[in-house]
A and B are shown apart, each in its own frame.
Chain A
Amino acid sequence: MKIGKLITTALLGFMFFLFIGLDLVLFGVIPLNSVVVTIMPIIGLVLGAALVVVASRKQGSAVNTAPPAA
């Protein structure tokens, strides 16, 4: 697993979900002092990192189970 890819994806998830949270505030769906504004970027961070981990494990298992080259 590449650390750079993990950090990049996690940060993109953080920013994307942060702005989703802020948009929810702008639309009046949640108040400014809602804890959702705090939780959303953390969800994005964890989701981004988790996707990298899942993809890396899948890639790793595919390499391990591949038949040897003739």
Chain B
Amino acid sequence: MGALVFGTANTASAQIDGECSASGAWQDNGLKVDAQTVGDDVITIPRTDTVNWEGSVSSPPGEYSGSIWLELPPPFGKLKIDDWSGNGDSTSNSGSKEYDIPKLVPAGVEFEVAGEHFADNGDCTGYVKLVIDGGLFDSFVSIIFFVLTALFGVLFALVVWKMLVNAGFFARSAL
């Protein structure tokens, strides 16, 4: 059985609906979460750590399935992270997951991880808003984006300025 495990710092940061419970604890960082009791704040997670997770449902699930994903801007939809399915009577599961988010992913970006769990005896859905700990320029992607913003901004401004001057919006002598 999979679990919807959502991390949090000292404050609330996840929502879960349905007869499920889920919790996680970051081994190195010390973060702890109980998805049932946390709220809707954005939380900061370390780029690298191991999470001890636990999940449970209120009654034997029977046939079950579920998945978690990263919410992308429309129209891109979802980027699946993991999924699970099976058949069983166990109402709980736990484990540890080591993760290492590549430097390619910029720190400070707020992203939403959502999940769902379907079983014969009930369904659950949930989400959490996360931010990776670190500085704005930890990832070279940020630098590339800023350079490209400036480049396209200058090009756009030059093209528009020249076009408007030629159209007579501004005096040519001003140039």
Contacts and interface: CB of A to CB of B under 8 A. Distances in A.
| Interaction A to B | yes
Interface of A: 5, 8-9, 12-13, 15-16, 19-20, 22-23, 25-28, 30-35, 37-38, 44, 48, 51-52, 54-56, 58-59, 62
Interface SS majority for chain B: mixed
Interface in B47-105: 70-75
Given A12-B155, A32-B112, A26 B106 contact: yes
8 contacts: A15-B148, A15-B156, A16-B152, A27-B136, A38-B73, A55-B163, A59-B168, A62-B167
Contact of B145 (A12, A19, A62): A19
B162 to A, nearest CB: 10
- Interface size, B (range): 20 to 34
Contacts, number: 92
Contact of B109 (A8, A32, A55): A32
B44 to A, nearest CB: 11
Contacts of A27: 108, 136
B11 interface: no
A28 B110 contact: yes
Contact of A55 (B75, B129, B169): B169
Contact of B156 (A13, A30, A34, A54): A13
B142 interface: yes
Contacts of A15: 148, 152, 156
Interface in B132-163: 136, 142, 145-146, 148-149, 152-153, 155-156, 159-160, 163
Contacts of A59: 166-168
B131 interface: yes
B66 to A, nearest CB: 20
Contacts of A28: 108-110, 131
A70 to B, nearest CB: 21
A51 B164 CA distance: 8
